[in-house]
Every structure is written in structure tokens, then in C-alpha cells.
Amino acid sequence: MMRFPLLLAVLCLLGALRAAETAPAARPNILWLVTEDTSATFHTGYGDPLARTPVFDRIAKSGVLFERAYSTSAVCAPTRASIITGMYAPALGTQHMRSNVPMPDWLRYFPAYLRDAGYYTTNRAKTDYNAAVLPGTWDQNGNQAHWRNRQPGQPFFAVFNTNASHESSLHKRVELVTDPAKVRVPAYLPDTPEVRADLAQYYDRVAAADRACGEVLAQLEADGLADNTIIFHYSDHGGVLTRSKRFLFEGGTHPPLAVSFPPKYRHLAPGAPGSRSTELVNWVDLAPTVLSVAGVTAPAHLQGRAFAGPARAPAPAYTFNFRDRMDEAIDFSRAVTDGRFRYIRNYRPEQPILQHVTYLWNMATTRELDRLRAAGQLNAIQAALFAAKPAEQLFDCQTDPDNVRNLAADPAHRATLEKMRAANRGHLLRIRDSGFMPESLLRARAAGRPPVLVARDDAAYPLARIIDTVDRLQLGAAPTAAELAPLLRDPDAVIRFWAAHAVLSRRVAADVSPLLRDPVPIVRLVAAAALAGSTDAAKAAAAWPIFAAALEPTLPAEVKLEALSFLTALPARPASLRPLIEAAAKPAANASGENYAARAAEHLLKL
């Protein structure tokens, strides 16, 4: 008769133990140490003998170092938008630098799910999400945010950002610790004293960022929390010298990542202490991984995978990066890597790799490149930075870590090219990449709504058809005027844009004059850019009023910036446009305190 009460008691005890496993007190603390603009290769753990990163190396030795970790983008705001949402920014329309677009009602930033589970969430202090900080994300957000402000015994998720290695740290020369004679100058940069000094100063700034992370670890240990805390140490993206940050080469997209697990949580780790993982990791994986090690179920909309914890999923064969507008430089490229080969699909190949970006020109290395370009003293690899780029690039990062030998046309690598091209197409469709809509068109279609709603509407945005059309127009033989004619009349403005763009970028002798009356500004502008270089004087003259109208003060900043971008690429402009360009150069900052159209106008006036 005693068996049933005893059984009931045992079941109750087991239930209590199971509940305790997921109770807040049983969950690990999670600490993020985040540096800025730091490539993996500037860390001792990745084989650089000149690096001084003992804090990162210590975390790697007590945890797992990830050899193939990649950021979603090569610049801060779009990457941080991807990290906080767990989604690739082009899926949400947050891919353009400091674009500040609205988020859909169904989306929450991932720390909110930790808060639901009892975590105290803090961020110190950079957000830069390309969108507003959503309510319910952080218990504390700012320069005073700290785990020390939580309730006793409450688990925490704490982010500490340091900007010691940020690009701005190279805007002024300081006394150097690293010997410039010992740095390796990559093939795409000129070997001059200025470039060597920038590289040496960057080593010093990476070391300073490492020390800043060490100060946070010292606080953790002083509080007796190290044995209960899982530590992620990473950088938002690579950097920082010219052609790394902002660019889809290895230097811009391959930051460091090490994660340490104290003994009591070692069962959550993807490897033994001191091990090195060759699995592909992307920064969209950070959100699901943190939720996994915290024992929190990840929402279905996340586009990454957990690489640690009970929800750990198999590594993919490929991972992906994106590049869109970088400050005032309009561009559109996507990249795929398998950890060895890097494929880059440039959808705006008429744009040079190194467009003028005011902030980037604050660096001595960039100015040195520009000076040597003007003097005709760059070698072929370096001069290519200022020329139009191929629609496809393929690099073997094992034999060519600087990504300077394009294998896209090499028959020996044709199979790799086709596989990665197909992987890119599949990824674009899977995430519903909004990038094929130029920024002004995306905003116009969204009409104040979250851009993701536009990107997910296949009736309004038939993405498969658009991708296939653009590939046909850009890859292989140039399209004929007969092929372009129906596309130039297509009901979809996106198709009309790309058809007119083909006339511009591939010099097809097709008549785009009717598009000067198109209802969509960006379609009118690309048609005007194609006609401005025409040998037909009447057609060329018809282009200039389109640019003048786009520079009117009442038009959106995105339209102005697109007009200025096309004008910058043209060899000459009529004097009648100068007053409008001067007016566009007058400061009128957006919600982020930026005015990229003004920067573009200022540069154009100097040409």
C-alpha cells in the first residue's frame, strides 16, 4: 500500500530536479567581450607572431577557437543589425549603413528572450543596430551598464564593447610600440612608410583593445563569477586598413572568435579546452547559440544555427556576407565562402572597388593610395582598386590570403565557381534578400512600413525572376538590344532598373530614352546615366534635367545620393548643375546624425 505514495514522492522529486535544471539560478552567466574592426589574423592565436593579444589567447586556450568565423558584413551597423536580430540584414532591409528602418511587430531582439527566462541583460554601450533599440531588449544599456546592478543570484547576459581598435584610432598618428619595419604589407597596399606606420599603429590598437577586455575579465574574477560564466570574445567584423573594413574580402569579413566554458558548463561546449574548430560560423549564429547555452528556445525566424549548447546544429557547407551602401558609397555585392574559397558576386560592377568615402579618407593609408594613383605609381593589383570590378570574383584564401588573384575565369575552378554561384542564389532566395531594390525604391515601396514586408511579398518582389534576369544581363555575353527591349518596358520597376543598368554597365546600344519619363526616380536616373555618355548630343542633353530634378531639396536623401553617385562616375557635368550640387552639400543630418548626400556632394565639387 506504500508503493504508490512512494512512487508519487519520487516523481515529485524528479520533477523538482528537472525544474531546477532550467531555473534561472541554474543557468550560466554569459559575457560578450566585443572589439571593433579587428581581423582574426592580427591575433597570436591565429598565427601572427607580431600580435599581442594575451587575453584573447587565454580565452582560446581555456575554450574553443573558431578558425572559420565570419561576420555578416564588413561594417558595423549592418553587422550589428544582423547580430541583434539573428537575421541577415538584407532580409530586414537594414543592410545600408545607418539607414534606420522600422522593424516588424513580430520581431524581438534576442536578449528579450533571455529576459523572459530571468536573465539580467546589459549592453555597454554601442548599439548601432540600423534601427531603434526595441523595448524589452536591455535591463541596462549605456556606459554604466554592468552585471553588478542585477538582483543577487540573477543570471546575466552582459555585453562589453571596446572601441580601442576602431578605425578612428588611426585618424591621428601617435607614438608607436610596434616596429613598422616588422609588419607585413598586404599585396593590395603600397609598401610605403605611411602604410607601414598605419599597420604598426593598428597592431598597437588591437593590443589596447585586448587589454580593455582583460579589465572586464578582472572584474568578473574579482566578483567570483568566472566559474559560472561562459565568455565569447569576438570582433564585430574585420579591419581596419583600406580594403579590409567595408569590403567583402577575407580581411573585412574574417574576425576572431573564441568561446570559453567553465568546467561546470563544459558539456555545452562544441570542443575540448584549447581545441580549434574548423566549422563555419557566422555572426547570425551568435543569437541562437547564446539562447542554446542559456537553455532558451530560439524563435523560428532566426536565420543562423546554434554552434554550442543542446540546440547545436550541424555546420553548413557555406556561409555568406553582404555589402551594400557604405556611408555615401552605393554598392551591392554578395559573398560566399566555404572556409577556403571565397566567391564574390558584384551586382554593381561599374562601381570601383574603392569608391570615395569621406570617413575612409581620414586614414593615411587611403590618402597614400589616392596620391600614388594620381601619380601613376601603383602596381596593377593596387590600381585595380580604382577601376570597375568584375561581376564575379573567386579567390583561394589558402594560397592567396590577400585575395588578389581572381580565379573566376580559370577553367580549373569552373566547378567551384558554379557551386558557389548556386549557393549564393539559394541563400538570396532563402532569406528573401531585399538588395535588388535600390535603396530609394525599397523605401518608397515600404512607405514607412518595415522593408521586410516588401521583401517577403513575392507578388510585388518576384525574387527568383529578378535574380535570374540580373544574372542573364551580367554574366556571359552582353545582352542584345532586342533582349533588353521587353525588359525596359517591364511592369516591374526593379526589372526596368536592372535592364537600364545593363545598358549603362555593358555599353549596350539600346534606347533607354523612354525611361526618362519613368514614374520611379531611380529608373529615370540610371537611364539618364546611360544616356549622359551618349555620342548623340540630343540624347545626352536630355539626361541632365533628370539629375537636376533629383537634386531638388524636396526629394528624399536616398534619391539625391543615387543621383550624386551616377554624376561622380561621369567624366564631366554641365555647369548648370553646380548650384544644385552646392545646395546638396549643405549639412542636414539624418536621424543618425549623418548626411551622406552632403558628403558625396562635397567630394563631387572637388572633381
Please identify every residue annotated as catalytic: 76
Report the C-alpha gap between 80 and 236 in whole angstroms.
Answer: 7
Name the 3-class secondary structure at 25.
Answer: helix
Give rounded-to-5 percent helix, strand, coil for the chain: 45, 10, 45
Of 429, 431, 329, 325, residue with least CA distance to 100: 325
Coil, strand or helix at 547: helix
Pure H helices in 26-110: 54-62, 76-85, 89-92
Q: What is d(CA 553, CA 557) in angstroms, rounded to the nearest whole number? A: 9
Contact 204/24 with Cβ under 8 angstroms?
no
DSSP string of 539-602? HHHHHHHHHHHHTSTTS-HHHHHHHHHHHHHSS---GGGHHHHHHHTS----TTS--HHHHHHH
- Report which DSSP code applies to 326: B
Q: Which amino acid is at 532?
A: A
**CA-to-CA distance for 432 and 516, rounded, in angstroms?**
30
Exposure string for 582-603, b = 16+ CB within 10 A, e = fewer: eebbeeeeeeeebbbbbbbbbb
302: which 3 cell numbers? 532566426
Please spell the DSSP secondary structure of 590-605, one letter per residue: -TTS--HHHHHHHHHH
C-alpha cell at 354: 574603392
Distances (CA, A) of 373 to 192, 366, 379: 14, 11, 9
Q: What's the CA gap between 75 and 66, in Å, rounded?
A: 20
Q: Compute the distance between CA of residue 473 and CA of residue 310 in angstroms, rounded to an integer.
A: 46
In three-state secondary structure terms, 557 is helix
